[in-house]
Amino acid sequence: MTTFEVRQCTNDACRLRIPLDPSEFSGAYCPRCGAPLTVVVEAYQNPDCAGETLSPRLQLSVLLDNIRSAHNVGAIFRTGDGVGLRHLYLCGFTPTPEDNPAVAKTALGAEARLRWSHHRNALDLAEQLQVEGFKLVALECTAKATPIYRFKAEPPDSRPWVLVVGNERAGVDPGLLARCDLTLSLPMTGEKNSLNVAAAFAAAAYWLSFA
């Protein structure tokens, strides 16, 4: 585990306070004003959240349809590891850990722990999954979508679920959306009408898994 120090700029007009890994950075001078830095918190380690013994409420997988950003895909891998995701279905031009190193760089090892597969056509895959007994749930803002905070599967659904997440700009493919058994949305109160796709997936996945 990495050991850090907190250092502070000695210039009273600056007083920048930053954590540093002394094995990688000397940290002698302030990166903002150039004044000397002093150690204000000696060696400490970032606390590691202990693994919970509880199990997710649902058997949850995710279908990523034409997600263009490798960093978003990597972040979804990392969140998926946290919620106990069963499988990631990477569809269309969604980058995979094999063809884009940025996925693995952001996933921080989760790509090696989680099962994933690539499929060129998300609609073909959706039809196959439904035949196999999966419930498809779209994460999208539509007039008929149920706000996620109003939804709770009671009693817990025994069927495996696939959360369908669409392209950052175009959203979920209309053909794919029409096949979904349920559509959920995240409430938005600001001027923007959607979250970053990785952030939206994280909010929905944790709500469905543990709320």
Query: Do 9 and 97 belong together in one domain?
Result: no
Residue 55 lies in a domain: no
Q: Among 200, 190, 90, which residue's Cα sits nearest to residue 138? A: 200
- In the chain, the number of structural domains is 2
pLDDT, one tens digit per residue, over 100-139 is: 999 999 999 999 999 999 999 999 999 999 999 999 999 9
State which amino acid sits at residue 159: R
Asked if residue 52 belongs to a domain, the reply is: no
Q: Does one domain contain both 125 and 177?
A: yes
What is the phi-psi region of residue 34: left when phi exceeds 0, alpha when psi lies from -120 to 50, beta otherwise?
left
Sign of the dihedral defined by the CA atoms of residues 33, 39, 42, 43, in that order: positive
Determine contact, residues 45/1, Cβ cutoff 8 Å. yes
Q: Are 152 and 57 in contact (CB under 8 A)?
A: no
Q: Is 45 helix (H, G, I), strand (E, B) or coil?
A: strand
Is 51 domain-assigned? no
Q: Which structural domain, as residue segments, surrounds residue 17?
A: 3-45
Predicted confidence (pLDDT) per residue in 17-50, tens digit: 999 999 888 889 999 999 999 999 999 987 766 6
| pLDDT, tens digit (0-9, with 9 covering 90-100), for 128-177 | 999 999 999 999 999 889 999 998 766 667 889 999 999 999 999 999 99
Residue 208 CB partners (closer than 8 Å, separation 6+): 57, 58, 60, 137, 148, 153, 161, 163
Q: How many angstroms from the chain centroid is the CA of residue 11? A: 39
CA distance 173 to 194: 16
Based on the fold, state whether residues 71 and 158 are members of the same structural domain. Answer: yes
pLDDT value for 191:
77
Do 78 and 18 belong to one domain?
A: no
Is residue 94 in a domain? Answer: yes
Q: Where residue 133 sits, what CATH number does that domain have?
A: 3.40.1280.10
